[in-house]
């Protein structure tokens, strides 16, 4: 007799678990229905649209792989892909490095530890639009606080978001400011590492560097794997910061590329192709290309993870 | 299993971009207000139409007051007004099955939407009502036409002129505004001042503030952006390249490029007392007819005047204003097209446009409106703009469905040009190469 049958027999007709299960389903239903209607259906529909020319108002016209082929002849698409890859590789790399570094620092036994933890986490709570607006002013080349500080110590003052060269580093700086979310996961991870591992290193005469490279880093690799994949996905989807920054430069919603298209990222470009230029077929193809690209990258990272991720005990 | 779960999680998360698109469709429009709510008389059957426009705040309030007059003319039509609507909201409404009936949108968008079949052909209603279409400013009316059918009607109009700070010019020894682009350039250099750090404290003119005004300088220099006879983009014509040379001269040559970019980035908010024209950080501004209303509000003490845009010597007769119209549209999905057109016709008549133009500081989109005494009696600062707009060489943006892409391409390279990424010639060649295929594709459709 299976466990299920035993359970059923014991509980009999008035099964409180069964009614609870129904209730649970009822509570879950809005999300499931929402997912089916607003996520799954659009996803399947966009797959079909990606092979058509579709402008919302007339019936989609089948064009085969034309949208996918056109992407590679489209300069805006190439800019968007290159900028997003830059953002993902440099941004996510720095984000992880900084998160671990801060988490290790905040794990040290210093006075006011909770205070520092709170301070470093706080920016993660700022809504993305508000955060981007704050940084637009902090990075203002003329009156911004960042350049005032650089001036005080005699360093060169970049033009930040007003320059094609500095605009992406500036956007990455905005990303790094909100590093608290990643940091807090690492902090929890470090807390899980048993103290005696470190004691063993101390007994063997190891120093802080050894502790990090031999204990902390390897035991945090499952978290790092998760953060890398998450970061890549979020990086390709990044919309708000680029959109807000472009709009504050006093331009139309259609002009979302920043100086010399240096801030033309994947999601805003896709949005513009669809909602401004009414090329929903082409935009769908771009969305699917991103999905496949992210899946491929995720797959490669997961494959490689066998070599560098250590699943502790 | 772990791998499968991770892949699934990756899939779900990366799909959020699709969900993002879906989420934007659920945004709730704000700023509802209702005008023309007079009770139906007797047994008269009333029709309620929804009018969505993009104006906000005080302008929306003034608009609502004007619209309320419509109920006296057509008590059988009730107009529900939604202000602050955006292009995206309108697009979603048109495809949702519960469309608005009349919308106000930008010229480039109206043409794009009509080319895709989103908008109703107003021609049958125009013919039935015998509306005099010859009274509309021709280049603006053309933006709403495809194959002789009218899909959008211009409603209110903007044009841009050269505003100057009389005190700053007088300090530099000039008593009159510039007539040619050489004089303009000379005056701009003469009024330029550096601060103690060697940064710009004041310059003559910043062509990228508050946004890239694409056609005003090219049109003033007699250039055109498109040739409708041959369906050719004229971005790389000598005239357009020369116009971009002029624009670029405010960021190069006499001016230090990096310092100009820095100066531009520090300029204050447009609709505020911090506008650089109000604070004297710039001596000239290329501004629209609404701007005198702003001056009254934010800088009433400013000693300013307005002049036609400079011209190129020998090309005076080809110099004309850039005309930008708001466009009234009726979506194909509207269920009340007849009532919607009645409202469009009234709104675009002098009775609808003039009171609004007086209150808001805009030009009407009709020839009769541009000569209206009522307009100038109500708002005298509109007179020079109306006269300038009436010059025969005045032009609107080309009436082509790819104008959105074209203007985005132009403003993107303009920005890159100021950043030394392209010379004006390279910038315009790039636009030509990118946009001409869209024109070719359109010709085939």
Q: How would residue B174 be classed by pLDDT, with cut points 50, 70 and 90?
A: very high
B76-109: pLDDT as tens digits: 999 999 998 888 899 999 998 899 999 999 888 9
* DSSP helix/strand/coil, B120: coil
Q: How would residue B36 be classed by pLDDT, with cut points 50, 70 and 90?
A: very low
* DSSP helix/strand/coil, B117: coil
Residues of B in contact with A233 (CB under 8 A): 10, 13-14, 16
Q: How would residue B135 be classed by pLDDT, with cut points 50, 70 and 90?
A: very high
Q: What mean pLDDT comes out for the span A6-19?
A: 62
For residue B425, give how far its alpha carbon lies from the nearest alpha carbon of chain A (Å). Answer: 15
Give the contacts of A257 (CB within 8 A, at least 6 positions apart). Answer: A76, A79, A246, A263, A264, A269, B412
Radius of gyration for chain B, computed over Cα atoms and rounded to the nearest angstrom: 24
Q: What mean pLDDT comes out for the span B399-425?
A: 91
Q: What mean pLDDT comes out for the span A219-229?
A: 94
Tokens of B78: 């009730």
Give me the pLDDT at residue B21, please: 39
ipTM: 0.77
Q: Across the A/B interface, how many CB contacts are shorter than 8 Å?
A: 143
Residues of B in contact with A253 (CB under 8 A): 86-87
Q: Which of B24, B94, B419 to mutate to test the interface with A (most CBs of A within 10 A)?
A: B419
DSSP tag of A101: H
Give residues 6 to 35 of B whose Cβ lies within 8 Å of A. Answer: 6-7, 9-11, 13-23
Q: Say whether B419 and A259 touch across the interface (CB within 8 A).
A: yes
For residue A38, give how far its alpha carbon lies from the nearest alpha carbon of chain B (Å). Answer: 6
Task: Write the Ramachandran bin of A278: left for phi over 0, alpha for psi from -120 to 50, otherwise beta.
Answer: left
DSSP tag of B134: G
Q: Say whether B270 and A275 touch across the interface (CB within 8 A).
A: no
Q: How would residue B29 be classed by pLDDT, with cut points 50, 70 and 90?
A: very low
| Contact A270/B at CB under 8 A | yes
**Cβ neighbour number for residue A130 with a 10 Å cutoff:** 10
In angstroms, what CA-CA distances link B185 with A285, B144, B197, B213, B252?
A: 48, 37, 24, 18, 12
Q: What mean pLDDT comes out for the span A13-26?
A: 82
> In this complex, which of A159, A252, A274 lies closest to B262 when CB atoms are compared?
A159
Residue B264 has φ and ψ, to the nearest 5°, of -60, -40
The chain A residue lying nearest B22, using CA atoms, is A38
pLDDT, chain A, mean: 89
Q: How would residue B205 be classed by pLDDT, with cut points 50, 70 and 90?
A: very high
Q: Which of A254, A256, A295 to mutate to test the interface with B (most CBs of B within 10 A)?
A: A254
Q: Say whether A298 and B258 touch across the interface (CB within 8 A).
A: no
Residues of A in contact with B92 (CB under 8 A): none
Tokens of B253: 């040559």
Q: Say whether A278 and B332 touch across the interface (CB within 8 A).
A: no
The chain B residue lying nearest A164, using CA atoms, is B419
Q: How would residue A311 be classed by pLDDT, with cut points 50, 70 and 90?
A: confident
Q: Say whether A140 and B116 touch across the interface (CB within 8 A).
A: no
* DSSP helix/strand/coil, A31: helix
B276-319: pLDDT as tens digits: 999 999 999 999 999 998 999 999 999 999 999 999 999 999 99
* DSSP helix/strand/coil, B322: strand
pTM, rounded to two decimals: 0.83
The answer to whether B48 and B80 have CB atoms below 8 angstroms apart is yes
């Amino acid at each position: 007799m299976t466990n299920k049958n035993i359970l059923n027999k014991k509980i009999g007709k008035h099964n409180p678990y069964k009614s609870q299960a129904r209730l649970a389903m009822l509570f879950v239903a809005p999300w499931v229905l929402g997912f089916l209607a607003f996520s799954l259906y659009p996803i399947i529909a966009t797959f079909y649209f990606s092979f058509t020319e579709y402008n919302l108002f007339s019936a989609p016209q089948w064009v085969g792989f034309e949208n996918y082929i056109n992407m590679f002849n489209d300069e805006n698409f190439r800019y968007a892909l290159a900028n997003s890859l830059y953002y993902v590789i440099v941004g996510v790399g720095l984000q992880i490095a900084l998160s671990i570094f801060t988490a290790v620092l905040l794990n040290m036994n210093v006075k006011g530890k909770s205070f520092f933890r709170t301070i470093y986490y706080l920016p993660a709570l700022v809504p993305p639009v508000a955060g981007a607006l704050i940084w637009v002013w902090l990075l203002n080349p003329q009156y911004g606080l960042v350049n005032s500080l650089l001036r005080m110590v005699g360093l060169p003052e970049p033009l930040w978001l007003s320059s094609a060269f500095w605009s992406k580093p500036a956007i990455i700086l905005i990303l790094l400011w909100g590093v608290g979310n990643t940091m807090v996961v690492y902090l929890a991870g470090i807390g899980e590492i048993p103290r005696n591992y470190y004691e063993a290193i101390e007994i063997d005469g190891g120093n802080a560097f050894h502790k990090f490279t031999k204990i902390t880093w390897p035991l945090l690799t499952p978290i790092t794997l998760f953060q890398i994949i998450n970061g890549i996905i979020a990086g390709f989807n990044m919309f708000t910061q680029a959109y807000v920054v472009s709009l504050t430069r006093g331009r139309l919603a259609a002009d979302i590329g920043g100086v010399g298209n240096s801030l033309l990222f994947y999601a805003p470009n896709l949005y513009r192709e669809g909602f401004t230029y009414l090329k929903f077929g082409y935009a769908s193809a771009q969305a699917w290309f991103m999905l496949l690209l992210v899946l491929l990258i995720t797959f490669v990272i997961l494959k490689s993870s066998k070599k560098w991720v250590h699943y502790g005990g | 299993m772990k791998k499968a779960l991770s892949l699934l999680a990756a899939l779900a998360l990366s799909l959020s971009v699709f969900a993002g698109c879906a989420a934007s469709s659920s945004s709730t429009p704000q700023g509802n207000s209702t005008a023309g709510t007079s009770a139906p008389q007797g047994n008269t059957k009333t029709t309620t139409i929804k009018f969505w426009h993009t104006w906000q705040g005080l302008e929306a309030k003034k608009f609502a007051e004007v619209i309320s007059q419509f109920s006296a003319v057509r008590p059988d039509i009730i107009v529900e007004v939604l202000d602050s609507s955006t292009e995206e909201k309108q697009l979603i409404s048109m495809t949702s099955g519960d469309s608005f009936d009349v919308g106000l949108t930008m010229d480039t968008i109206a043409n794009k939407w009509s080319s895709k079949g989103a908008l109703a052909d107003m021609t049958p209603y125009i013919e039935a009502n015998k509306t005099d279409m010859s009274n509309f400013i021709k280049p603006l009316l053309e933006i709403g036409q495809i194959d002789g059918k009218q899909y959008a009607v211009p409603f209110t109009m903007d044009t841009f002129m050269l505003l100057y700070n009389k005190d700053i010019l007088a300090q530099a020894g000039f008593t009159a505004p510039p007539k040619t682009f050489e004089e303009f350039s000379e005056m701009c250099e003469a009024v330029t001042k550096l601060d103690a750090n060697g940064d710009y404290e004041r310059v003559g003119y910043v062509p990228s503030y508050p946004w890239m005004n694409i056609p005003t300088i090219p049109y003033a220099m007699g250039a055109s952006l498109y040739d409708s006879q041959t369906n050719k983009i004229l971005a790389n014509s000598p005239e357009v390249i020369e116009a971009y040379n002029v624009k670029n001269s405010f960021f190069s040559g006499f001016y230090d490029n990096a310092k100009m970019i820095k100066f531009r980035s520090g300029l204050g908010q447009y609709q505020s007392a911090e506008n650089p024209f109000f604070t004297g950080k710039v001596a000239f501004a290329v501004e629209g007819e609404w701007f005198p209303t702003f001056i009254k509000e934010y800088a009433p003490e400013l000693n300013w005047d307005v002049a036609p845009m400079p011209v190129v010597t020998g090309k005076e007769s080809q110099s004309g204003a850039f005309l930008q119209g708001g466009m009234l549209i009726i979506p194909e999905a509207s269920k009340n097209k007849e009532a919607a057109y009645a409202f469009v016709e009234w709104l675009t008549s002098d009775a609808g446009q003039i009171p609004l133009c007086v209150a808001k500081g805009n030009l009407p989109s009709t020839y009769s409106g541009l000569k209206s005494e009522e307009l100038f009696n109500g708002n005298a600062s509109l007179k020079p703009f109306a006269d300038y707009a009436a010059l025969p060489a005045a032009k609107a943006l080309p009436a082509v469905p790819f104008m959105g892409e074209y203007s985005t391409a132009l403003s993107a390279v303009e920005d890159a040009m100021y950043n030394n990424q392209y010379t004006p010639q390279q910038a315009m060649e790039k636009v030509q190469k990118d946009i001409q295929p869209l024109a070719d594709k359109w010709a085939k459709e």
